[in-house]
A and B are shown apart, each in its own frame.
Chain A
Amino acid sequence: GQNIDQPTEMTATEGAIVQINCTYQTSGFNGLFWYQQHAGEAPTFLSYNVLDGLEEKGRFSSFLSRSKGYSYLLLKELQMKDSASYLCAVRVDSGYSTLTFGKGTMLLVSP
């Protein structure tokens, strides 16, 4: 099976930088995704890592270390609208590709 851990909640101030960590243990690893989900809405795709290193996309960056089973999502220049749940998800290929989500990190951005 898969085990994906991330902090339950984080708080940060508008304009600051926040890093959300995710650790995973899985077999058949074939990529790690980060999704943002506002309350009552569908998850929206933020980033994807399959090789070690940093992927940057505007205010969002994601890092992966496969040997450590570790990823983080870095959010810069935080805005109030960034208050949401951030889901770490691992793609596993075992004949068929499936995406398994961590429990999500609720980020609250305050003024």
Chain B
Amino acid sequence: DTEVTQTPKHLVMGMTNKKSLKCEQHMGHRAMYWYKQKAKKPPELMFVYSYEKLSINESVPSRFSPECPNSSLLNLHLHALQPEDSALYLCASSQTGQGGYGYTFGSGTRLTVV
């Protein structure tokens, strides 16, 4: 298995809703990431998990709450989002350590906040 699987592919939610994005990989990667990508912009790093521990939080508002239940799963819990949070949310994973370890990206969740 060489894929990162993200669900759902599309999500429309109201500003008072609570929803979760899910990400799963079975490549044995111990680093997992959440990126946010607006249209015609590059992906922007939100969170980094290394060995199931949150390593980096790039000043992301608390309405986004990440969770890493185990080495294969990564969730992003959403609550009280704003319309400007509408974007493509990408999950990625990689091996840790040195070397040419590119990130493997999931196909993303297209989120629309109404």
> A: which residues have CB within 8 A of B?
30-31, 33, 35, 40-45, 48, 50, 87, 95-104
Partner of A48, one of B88, B90, B100: B100
Chain B residues near A87 (CB-CB < 8 A):
42-43
Structural contact, B55 and A99, CB atoms closer than 8 A? no
The interface residues of chain B, by DSSP majority, are classed as strand
* Given A42-B105, A97-B94, 6 additional A-B pairs, CB 8 A: A41-B107, A42-B107, A43-B43, A96-B50, A99-B92, A101-B42
28 A-B pairs with C-beta separation under 8 A: A30-B98, A31-B100, A33-B102, A33-B103, A35-B102, A40-B110, A42-B90, A42-B106, A42-B107, A42-B108, A43-B43, A43-B103, A43-B105, A45-B102, A48-B100, A48-B102, A87-B42, A96-B50, A97-B31, A97-B94, A97-B96, A98-B48, A99-B92, A99-B103, A101-B43, A102-B42, A104-B41, A104-B42
Interface contacts (Cβ under 8 Å), in number, total 51
The interface residues of chain A, by DSSP majority, are classed as strand
How many chain B residues have a CB neighbour from A under 8 Å? 26
Chain A residues near B55 (CB-CB < 8 A):
95-96
Chain A residues near B107 (CB-CB < 8 A):
41-42
Given the interface pairs A45-B104, A48-B102, the reply to whether A99 lies near B45 with Cβ below 8 Å is yes
B56 within 8 A of A: yes
Chain A residues near B108 (CB-CB < 8 A):
41-42
Given the interface pairs A87-B42, A103-B42, the reply to whether A98 lies near B56 with Cβ below 8 Å is yes
> In chain B, what residue has the closest Cβ to A55?
B100
> In chain A, what residue has the closest Cβ to B58?
A98
Rank and list the top 3 A-B pairs by shortest CB-CB distance, nearest first: A101-B42, A48-B100, A45-B102
Chain B residues near A97 (CB-CB < 8 A):
31, 94, 96
How far, in whole Å, are A102 and B42 apart by their CA atoms in the complex? 6
Chain B residues near A30 (CB-CB < 8 A):
98
How far, in whole Å, are A35 and B33 apart by their CA atoms in the complex? 16
> B2: shortest Cβ distance to chain A, in Å?
11
